[in-house]
Amino acid sequence: MLSLARSIERNSEHIIAQAIVRYAEAQGAETFETTDFTAYPGIGASATVVGKKVMVGGPQLLQREQLSLPPSFVQYEQSSATKVWVVLEREVVGVFLLDDTIRETSKEAIHALRELGIETWMLTGDNEAVAAAVAEQSGIDHFRAGLMPDEKLDAIKAIRRDGEIVAMVGDGVNDAPALLTADIGIAIGAGTDIAIESADIVLTQNDLQSVVHAVTLSRRTYRKMEQNLWWAGGYNIVAIPLAAGVLARWGILVDPAIGAVLMSASTVIVALNAQLLKKSAV
């Protein structure tokens, strides 16, 4: 079973597939040549291995292929773990049970986003029990489970129809359509190539804290733009009429040389104010 799974999953970029490959390697499983590899986004993958049809995937794969579980596997069906089934010639021969390990930095990032007034959603293809456990442990506000890629896309559209501005964070092939549809697509740098190509922002670190940094930096940038526009606009509103001699009859006139110096000083002030953003990017 390990050899079959490793042979297929090594062709996939999905993070769960990579975890299974590493586990199979650690157990000394062999690797066989595969042909006719086909990936089913949000479902799993299939290939011909040593002349036999092998499929690896989640519960959606069993539903798609209308496969029933042998009695010995029924006990795992209600497990709260993420389940990846191995199917050989349309018969379930094994299952991987995976538990999510939530990073402490992820919990901190969710809390920080909430402090910034940002509501968080989790859109996942995992089952309801897994999604509920992760949402509770991490502090995520809302979640939807058992979603196919097109259903993630529909969820993004529904949130946007409610008048919300949506930033989507993803790393897999399944996330690409949602990343393109969201107002802002944010890809994890360690994710798949298609997710990276679909995103507006690519995080160099595999850490949700980078999302918080991106949000805070963008808000500070916007504030700096407003400050500089108000300064430049206010300066010109006052200085241009003075230079034109509006108050000359009262003896108030700006010498052209002084005006040139003040104009240069205005540019320097705007540039120095913008430079303060460097502290935000650290």
Residue 155, pLDDT score? 92
Q: What is the pLDDT of residues 20-41, one digit of tens each?
A: 999 999 999 999 988 899 888 8
Q: How confident is the model at residue 16 (pLDDT cuts 50, 70, 90)?
A: confident
Superfamily of structural domain 104-209: HAD superfamily/HAD-like (3.40.50.1000)
Q: Are 39 and 58 in contact (CB under 8 A)?
A: no
Copy the structure tokens of residue 109.
């990032």
pTM for this model (two decimals): 0.66
Q: What is the pLDDT of residues 159-200, one digit of tens each?
A: 999 999 999 998 877 788 889 999 999 988 766 677 788 889
Phi-psi region of 184 (alpha: psi -120 to 50; beta: other; left: phi over 0): beta
Residue 280, pLDDT score? 55
Q: Does 99 score more than 60 pLDDT?
A: yes
Cα torsion 150, 133, 27, 51: sign:
negative
Q: What is the pLDDT of residues 36-91, one digit of tens each?
A: 998 888 788 999 998 899 999 988 888 889 988 888 888 887 777 888 999 999 99
Q: Which CATH class is domain 2-98?
A: alpha beta
Torsion, Cα 159 162 165 170, to 10 degrees, reads 0
When computed from its CA atoms, the radius of gyration of the chain, rounded to whole angstroms, is 28
Q: Does 149 score more than 70 pLDDT?
A: yes
Of 6, 55, 49, give the one whose Cα is nearest residue 29.
6
Q: In the block, which residue shows the tokens 């291995």?
A: 49
